[in-house]
Structure 1
Amino acid sequence: MNRRTKIVAVAVALLIGAGATGAATAAPGRGAGAHREAAALTGAAWLDRDPATGERVRFSFDAHLAWADRNDPRAATGTFRYSHAVGKEEFTAFVRVDCLSTGGPVATVTGIVEETDVPGLRKKRVGVSVYDDGKRDRLGYSWLVSSPLTDEVPPCNAAAPHEKVVRGGGDFRVLPWIYDGMAG
């Protein structure tokens, strides 16, 4: 092979290699070391309430949508918990996730209450939304606009994230949803 042919062959090989590398890194869930989740919501926070009332609200999340289920947010797994204390009285709930939808820094998660000390709440669906802004996260919940005791909350639905978490008291992390139908 002459020198010119070798240079062209090497250049073509490099271009093909660069294209394959670019495709592998641009396709989440594929290739060595790529993540295997299509969406996630993790972390915990306290809501910014008036300390004079003795009101303390805490949420924690561990919700995930596997890469294999990326086109079905209702296949999400995990749990979330919340507690709401006023004075010496505290109400808690442990929720099994049944839907997770994320977009950019926003997540909406719903689930069925498995354990609670609130009469009539067990086996009801509740929903929470989170805005992870990296500075002062926000949170919203379905029972702001409907009663989980009497109204059916649809999967992946909650009120907009209207309430600020305590400054320095939130560490939500949202992995934006990746699905096959998403445009570049």
Structure 2
Amino acid sequence: MALGRMRVLTASAAALLVTAAGTAVAMAGDDHGHQRQREAAALTGTAKLYRPLGDDITFSFDAHLAAKDNMHPEKAYGTFAFSHYLNGRGGWARGRVDCLMTGGSTAVMTGVVTGSDTPYKGRRVGITVTDDGKHDRLGYSWLSQDTEHLTVPRCLSTGPFETVKKGSGDFKVLPWHPVFPTE
């Protein structure tokens, strides 16, 4: 009888810990010790990509999805920028985020290029980042040279096929936790 009661108490304690842990993840303190709900997802940071020929390729992100928009990744906001130079030739772009979805350590972001000296100005691009803490990876939707026909739907990109140059920066992905209706 005592063993059965102990199992019930242990299960209750475990459920309480899981609930408390979930609350701790969903809440965060600010600089004044007040509790606030954490944002639903984020992709932040700056890093350079590794290229053996010495290309200078930099990506920067400040992309966020507010907690109130948790089930609407197309309401993401923020900015992104990238540049690619080799032997004094290349280009840059910056843009406005229009979708952000994250899963574990991977983020998919799309946005419209608002300023650039490349053919991408006014077009939507997709970028994928994997934040593994030591060897971040990145992929982008414009690998094709056919920029005149570049169209990327919101919230879609490629696999993260590039690697980040060691010591050049870091990307941070805040995992998204969609909440689906239950019966």
Q: What is the TM-score of this pair, normalised by structure 1?
A: 0.80
* Equivalence for 1:90: 90
CA spacing shift, 1:109–1:148, aligned 2, 3 Å = farther
Q: 1:49 aligns with which of 48, 51, 76?
A: 51
| CA distance in structure 2 between the aligned counterparts of 1:157 and 1:137, rounded to whole angstroms | 19
| CA distance in structure 1 between the aligned counterparts of 2:74 and 2:147, rounded to whole angstroms | 19
1:107 aligns with 2:107: yes
Q: 2:35 aligns with which of 33, 36, 45?
A: 33
Structure 2: stretches of 5+ with no match in the other structure: 1-11, 29-33
Contact kept in structure 2, 1:145 and 1:159, CA below 8 Å: no
AA aligned opposite 2:122: K
Structure 1: stretches of 5+ with no match in the other structure: 1-14
Q: Which runs of 4+ in 1 moved over 6 A?
A: none
Per-residue CA shift, 1:2-24, capped at 9, x if unaligned?
xxxxxxxxxxxxx89x94x8535
* Equivalence for 2:131: 132
After TM superposition, give the deviation of residue 145 of structure 1 in Å.
4.9
Contact kept in structure 2, 1:142 and 1:148, CA below 8 Å: no
After TM superposition, give the deviation of residue 146 of structure 1 in Å.
7.2
Give the share of equivalent positions with the same residue, in percent. 45
Contact kept in structure 2, 1:96 and 1:114, CA below 8 Å: yes
1:16-31 aligned within 5 A: 19=16, 23=19, 25-27=21-23, 28-30=25-27
AA aligned opposite 1:36: R
* Equivalence for 1:156: 155
Contact kept in structure 1, 2:142 and 2:150, CA below 8 Å: no
Deviates more, 1:149-158 or 1:89-98: 149-158
CA RMSD of aligned residues (A): 2.6
| CA distance in structure 2 between the aligned counterparts of 1:60 and 1:83, rounded to whole angstroms | 9
Q: What is the TM-score of this pair, normalised by structure 2?
A: 0.80
After TM superposition, give the deviation of residue 30 of structure 1 in Å.
5.0
| CA distance in structure 1 between the aligned counterparts of 2:20 and 2:36, rounded to whole angstroms | 9
* Equivalence for 1:181: 180
| CA distance in structure 1 between the aligned counterparts of 2:177 and 2:70, rounded to whole angstroms | 6
Rg larger for: 1
After TM superposition, give the deviation of residue 87 of structure 1 in Å.
0.9
| CA distance in structure 2 between the aligned counterparts of 1:106 and 1:56, rounded to whole angstroms | 23
AA aligned opposite 2:150: D
Deviates more, 1:38-47 or 1:24-33: 24-33
| CA distance in structure 2 between the aligned counterparts of 1:45 and 1:159, rounded to whole angstroms | 18
Across the two proteins, how many residue pairs are aligned to each other?
165
| CA distance in structure 2 between the aligned counterparts of 1:60 and 1:94, rounded to whole angstroms | 9
